Amino acid sequence: MAKVTPGFKLYLYQLLSRELGTGKQTLLPQVEEALAADDIIPSDLECDSIQELVEACSDFLKLRVFKKGRAYVTVLKNEDWDQMLSAPPEKSSDKKAPSGGPKTWKKKKSGKKTLKAVKPGKQRREREAAEAAAAEAAAELARQQELEAQRLAEEAAAQEPQVEETPEETPLAEPIPETEQVAVDEAPAEESPDAPVARTVAEIMEEARAAEAEAAAEPEEEPKPVVAPEPKPAPEPEPEAAPEPEPEPEVAPAPEPEPAPEPAAPVAPEPEPISLTITYDPYEDMERELERQAAMRPEPAPEPRPKPKPMPSVVAPGISSGDLPQDFGAEVSCKDALLRILYQLLPYEVEPMAVLDEDWRVARSTGTVSGSRSRVNFPLHYLREDGTPITVTLRKTARNLSAKKWNLALVDGDDGSGETHISVGYEGLPASDEGAWSDLSGTTPNPAISPLRELAQDMVIGSWDRLLGSLAATTAPERWNYPGEGAGKSSRYGILREYLTCTYHCIRCQELVAKSADGSFAAFNTGLLTAFGEDIYACMTARKGDIPWQFAGFATAGSGELGARLTGTISPLPEQANYLSTIESVVPSSGRLVILDLEAIVGRQLGRLPRAFLTELLEGNDEARELLAAGGHLTDESLTKLTRIIKASPALYRRLRRRLDDAVEQSLRTVRASYRLAVPVYDPAENRTKLLVPLCLVEDGKADCALVLDLQPSGAYRAAALLSLPRAYACARVISREQPSWLSAKRVL
């Protein structure tokens, strides 16, 4: 049950009225984001969801749920609470009342108690802080243990240079411990006159390690196991060294220095014993080694300090995608109820999980992921009735479900608990416009092919406007936007985006993406030129994750850092895409049959015919005249009615066919007389070229739209698609900048 005290309510009212305002309808997820930004979650108030929390605060929060499942919250203004929040804080005085004055404890308390705003979640934050402190303490303890182990290892290794310095003098460092006495029990009285010197060396080494203050002989035995195999061959040279230093055999009670004479035998058995005393290098070497290690010891200490800092591992979306799921199917848990909604919304041949995975990757590549670090939203490429995309919400789970950190929380505001209210036709919701190339086939484009999403899935590009703006600034001046696009509009560079995506699709199919030998750099030829006639290349750098490349920028060969890297790592330079391979790709062959698919034109493309042509064709039909008389663009409903009117009248249907046949025949005669009037275009869906010819339907000599001629294996041309002139120009620009007069940019754009 929700536990919302008056103090909590006052704090929530202060927070939400400041962040969201009062008297305004706000989406329920925005309320949750505002609370999350202040580190408040529903469980702090013993609520299972944000909706339950809002319902518990009904005295100042008004919740409304509309038909389509969208929930809105309104913060109601409360004058009393506003006065409490605006009033200055009470001043508490610790001064004692004067002896002659009234007693403070005798004052009568006022009637009302002042309400104070209390932030929820204090216990949770204290618990999290305690857990973080415990984790940091454990890490610090582990770090100290690691440093201690490292220090002991360094101390044990401090003697190794003595052994490795001169292999003959190895016994000089080893006799320091007393364990050597066990190996020489047969002759404990044999000593060298150098024994006192060796003992002094051992004491100096112990003083250099003075951090432990161990001067006894027992600690000296610890390093012995490290070189345990060494003492065994040592007793053999001892008898040889013993006869030489006979002057002091009386010093039997000093077993420790005994090993010192051992080096005398291997170092110089033939020269005089005095020469061994003169070789004082071991002492100087040990001192230098101790100083070096003492200077090195403080260095490892600062290394572990930055290790506890990776605690804030969650990265906000839009800044870094390190914590966001990479593989949607493997890292996001999806409830059956939400997948059922997607099955109802999407076309029947589309797999919802494939759509989610693809659009999630595109959203991360193009920077369209929004939300907070625990809750993100991204759009699908399927549209609602109003033309806006469906939005999907992912939420980071407090506990892992099936080892998955994220779960699918909402589909267009619906959590799966109720029925979806989006109006869906028989074919499902329509997909967003993929570009003018999708009109070339005359049928519904294959959802599996999309140059737009293909480019975004192959490399992280960031904002489309920023990418295309940099390319437009690099290339020679040219018109790249559709009519109605430009600065201040919702989209820019529509023609340039279609050019780049279709070009990349063709280059990818022809395997013309060039890579460096180590695979860390790649580039492709955009087919565009600078104002000075230089080829422009798109450069990419390799990255980890499901998106293999990161867009690095556009460059010309040898210019700038990218240009120098391009010419330095890739040879030969990438080639342009090849579109034209036969003469039929440029000009329609004479004598070939042209078959007009009127059913495809009347069924889906009636709106691409000129309004004046339709008005003349449907003259005499009152219903059609009313539909055409309405200004503006013809809606899908109006076009459906016009299609039904034409198909219901055989006379109208035959009349339309005759008019179109005459226009096509006239267009072909014109094109054969001047072959440059035919325009080749590239169709990414079929990865081949087609031809555009002008179609004059209202006035002779003035093109109203473009007809697509598709060469069939039989040798005939199929005419099943019409394009508006701006979209026809966008398709034609992929292959060439120079266009005939009827399709020039100045005329159609």
User: What's the CATH code of the domain at 74?
Assistant: 3.30.420.610
Q: Is residue 19 part of a domain?
A: yes
Position 227 scores a pLDDT of 41
Dihedral through CA 156, CA 158, CA 159, CA 164, nearest 10?
120
Position 207 scores a pLDDT of 62
Residue 431 per-residue DSSP state = B
In this structure, the answer to whether residues 739 and 652 fall within a common structural domain is yes
In this structure, the answer to whether residues 591 and 731 fall within a common structural domain is yes
Q: From 432, 460, 477, give the residue that closes a domain.
A: 432
Closest residue by Cα to residue 368 from 310, 300, 321 = 321
Q: Is residue 489 part of a domain?
A: yes
Mean pLDDT calculated for residue range 552-572: 95
Q: From 33, 61, 86, give the residue that closes a domain.
A: 86
**Phi and psi, residue 728, nearest 5°:** -65, -40
Mode of pairing for the β-strands spanning 404-411 and 332-333 = parallel
Q: Is the pLDDT of residue 520 over 90?
A: yes
Residue 110 per-residue DSSP state = P
Residues 6+ apart with CB under 8 A from 747: 725, 741
**Top-ranked range on mean pLDDT: pick from 395-399, 409-413, 429-433, 660-664:** 660-664
**Sorting pLDDT into bands at 50, 70 and 90, what band is 272?**
very low
Q: Is the pLDDT of residue 305 over 50?
A: no
Provide the angle, in degrees to the nearest 10, between the axes of the packed helices 6-19 and 79-86.
90
Closest residue by Cα to residue 138 from 130, 149, 150, 128 = 130
Calculate the alpha carbon distances from 725 to 206, 441, 557, 749 in Å.
93, 16, 35, 8
Residue 436 per-residue DSSP state = G
Q: How many domains does the chain have?
A: 5
DSSP string, 635-651: PHHHHHHHHHHHHH-HH
Are 577 and 503 within 8 A, CB to CB?
A: yes
Cα separation of 9 and 80, whole Å? 13
Mean pLDDT calculated for residue range 52-72: 81
Amino acid sitting at position 38 = D
Mode of pairing for the β-strands spanning 459-460 and 549-555 = parallel
Helix (H) or strand (E) holding 551: strand 549-555
Mean pLDDT calculated for residue range 387-392: 90
Position 419 scores a pLDDT of 60
Mean pLDDT calculated for residue range 539-564: 94
In this structure, the answer to whether residues 443 and 364 fall within a common structural domain is no
Mean pLDDT calculated for residue range 663-689: 93
Give the predicted TM-score (pTM) of the model: 0.58
Position 431 scores a pLDDT of 86
Q: Is the pLDDT of residue 290 over 50?
A: yes
**Phi and psi, residue 582, nearest 5°:** -130, 165
Average pLDDT for the chain? 77
Cα separation of 187 and 261, whole Å? 13
Position 666 scores a pLDDT of 94
Mode of pairing for the β-strands spanning 549-555 and 332-333 = unpaired
Q: Is the pLDDT of residue 176 over 50?
A: no
In this structure, the answer to whether residues 288 and 415 fall within a common structural domain is no
Distance of CA 682 to the CA centre of its chain: 32
Q: Is the pLDDT of residue 475 over 60?
A: yes
Are 502 and 682 within 8 A, CB to CB?
A: yes
Cα separation of 736 and 579, whole Å? 10
Cα separation of 38 and 747, whole Å? 56
Q: Is residue 290 part of a domain?
A: yes
Q: Is the pLDDT of residue 380 over 80?
A: yes
HSE-up (13 A, CA, CB side) for residue 361? 22
In this structure, the answer to whether residues 163 and 277 fall within a common structural domain is yes
In this structure, the answer to whether residues 173 and 265 fall within a common structural domain is yes
Are 113 and 8 within 8 A, CB to CB?
A: no
Cα separation of 538 and 521, whole Å? 11
Structure-model confidence comparison of residues 105 and 342, the more confident one: 342
Q: Is residue 613 part of a domain?
A: yes
Model confidence pLDDT, tens digit, residues 436-465: 999 998 777 777 789 999 999 999 999 899
Bridge partners for 68 per DSSP? none
Q: Is residue 394 part of a domain?
A: yes
Q: Is residue 146 part of a domain?
A: no
Mean pLDDT calculated for residue range 489-501: 85
Q: Is the pLDDT of residue 219 over 70?
A: no
Q: Report residue 703 as tokens.
A: 């093109």
Q: Report residue 596 as tokens.
A: 């007009």
Question: Is residue 601 exposed (0-12), middle (13-18) or buried (19+ Cβ within 10 Å)?
Answer: buried
In this structure, the answer to whether residues 596 and 706 fall within a common structural domain is yes
Structure-model confidence comparison of residues 340 and 115, the more confident one: 340
Dihedral through CA 327, CA 331, CA 335, CA 336, nearest 10?
50
Q: Is residue 602 part of a domain?
A: yes
In this structure, the answer to whether residues 420 and 361 fall within a common structural domain is yes
In this structure, the answer to whether residues 169 and 289 fall within a common structural domain is yes
Q: From 377, 398, 432, give the residue that closes a domain.
A: 432
In this structure, the answer to whether residues 625 and 555 fall within a common structural domain is no
Position 203 scores a pLDDT of 55
In this structure, the answer to whether residues 357 and 290 fall within a common structural domain is no
In this structure, the answer to whether residues 183 and 54 fall within a common structural domain is no
Cα separation of 493 and 500, whole Å? 11
Are 596 and 667 within 8 A, CB to CB?
A: no
Position 634 scores a pLDDT of 80
Are 536 and 474 within 8 A, CB to CB?
A: yes
Range in 119-123, 397-401, 407-411 the model is least confident about: 397-401
Question: Is residue 621 exposed (0-12), middle (13-18) or buried (19+ Cβ within 10 Å)?
Answer: middle
**Sorting pLDDT into bands at 50, 70 and 90, what band is 45?**
confident
Position 198 scores a pLDDT of 40
- Strand order across the beta sheet in which 25-27 lies: 25-27, 71-75, 61-65
**Top-ranked range on mean pLDDT: pick from 28-32, 110-114, 239-243:** 28-32
Q: Is residue 104 part of a domain?
A: no
Q: By residue range, what is the domain housing residue 269?
A: 154-296
Q: Is the pLDDT of residue 61 over 60?
A: yes
Structure-model confidence comparison of residues 604 and 649, the more confident one: 649
Range in 135-139, 240-244, 572-576, 594-598 the model is least confident about: 240-244
